[in-house]
């Protein structure tokens, strides 16, 4: 699965891939990343992921040594070299190598790594029965502190802490709120819910990551004539919802059946959730770049 790795312009054996101990990503979390899926040997929404990565690098003032098309071709080549069919692809970019915080001391190109592996967040039973979710104390950062549309490595320390909080109480996921108490996202997933026939999801300006899977689900629903309300919501809206589900590259589409000990509706995956999961899986199997 991970026979070869793309590292700084070269395709090398996995066991030969090494980074400097002074890499800014390792020392300071100074970089950006993407998690991407491959289905049937095709990189799912490749251009969307690469474009989001390059936008993040631009916002972070990290100058990539080649354009988006070249980057995308390198990823496709790695998938082919590793004979990948269904896999998780991890892309990480750091500012480069230099001891010290000041970026002006970095005299080299960014560190760029692409690898392929397997990642299954949840067993199939979780897709059939749904997840129990708890609200965690760790909040998402406000946009005036950390821009949420930048998928930066350093930002995810908060998500990891939030995930640990959920793990401590045996929950499947942790719900993160904004500093003002509005529903934002889970540690690695976006949130959708249904109330009185209306599908809702937190708006991007609240500090959520605009997920690629979230975008795909919005397109799937729109193709059925189902409009989605993007706005501000509190936990009350989730407590009283008719059904809810989470979306993410690793999780795909997974039902959310309980929040903070309160069953959502009857505590079982809802019909729109199960239909969206089915349509999403069909969509990925037909994907071609």
Within 10 angstroms of residue 101's Cβ, the number of other Cβ atoms is 10
User: Which two three-digit tokens encode residue 288?
Assistant: 């071609």
Give me the pLDDT at residue 289, please.
84
Other C-beta atoms lying within 10 Å of the C-beta of residue 145: 11
Its sign, for the CA torsion 113, 118, 123, 126, is positive
Q: Tell me what pLDDT residue 122 has.
A: 87
d(CA 242, CA 268): 10
Query: What residues contact 258, with CB distance under 8 A and at least 6 apart?
Result: 130, 131, 132, 133, 264, 267
- Structural domains in the chain, sorted by start: 4-117 (3.30.470.10), 124-285 (3.20.10.10)
2 neighbors 119 (Cβ within 8 angstroms): no
Residue with tokens 């500093």: 179
Alpha-carbon distance of 149 to 52, in angstroms, equals 8
Give the whole-angstrom CA distance, residue 83 versus residue 1: 7
- Name residues of the chain where pLDDT drops below 70: 1-2
Look at the chain and count its residues: 289
278 vs 220: CA distance, rounded Å = 11
């Amino acid at each position: 699965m991970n026979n070869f790795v793309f590292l700084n312009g070269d395709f090398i054996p996995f066991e030969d891939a090494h980074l400097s101990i002074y890499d800014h990503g390792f020392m300071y979390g100074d970089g950006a990343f993407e998690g991407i899926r491959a289905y049937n040997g095709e990189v799912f929404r490749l251009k969307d992921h690469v474009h989001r990565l390059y936008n993040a690098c631009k916002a972070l003032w990290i100058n990539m040594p080649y354009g988006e098309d070249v980057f995308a071709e390198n990823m496709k080549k790695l998938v082919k070299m590793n004979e990948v069919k269904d896999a998780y692809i991890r892309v990480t970019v750091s500012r480069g190598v230099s001891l010290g915080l000041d970026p002006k001391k970095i005299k080299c190109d960014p560190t760029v790594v692409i690898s392929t592996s397997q990642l299954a967040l949840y067993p199939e039973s979780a897709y059939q029965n749904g997840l129990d979710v708890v609200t965690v104390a760790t909040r998402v950062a406000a946009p005036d502190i950390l821009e949420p549309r930048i998928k930066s490595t350093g930002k995810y320390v908060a998500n990891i802490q939030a995930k640990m909080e959920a793990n401590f109480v045996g929950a499947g996921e942790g719900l993160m709120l904004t500093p003002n108490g509005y529903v934002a996202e889970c540690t690695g997933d976006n949130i959708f819910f249904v109330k009185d026939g209306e599908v809702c999801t937190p708006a991007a300006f609240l500090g959520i990551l605009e997920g690629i899977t979230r975008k795909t689900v919005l397109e799937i629903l729109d193709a059925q004539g189902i409009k989605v309300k993007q706005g501000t919501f509190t936990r009350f809206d989730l407590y009283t919802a008719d059904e809810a589900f989470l979306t993410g590259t690793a999780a795909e589409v997974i039902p959310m059946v309980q929040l903070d000990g309160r069953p959502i509706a009857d505590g079982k995956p809802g019909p729109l959730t199960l239909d969206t999961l089915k349509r999403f899986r069909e969509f990925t199997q037909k994907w071609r770049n």
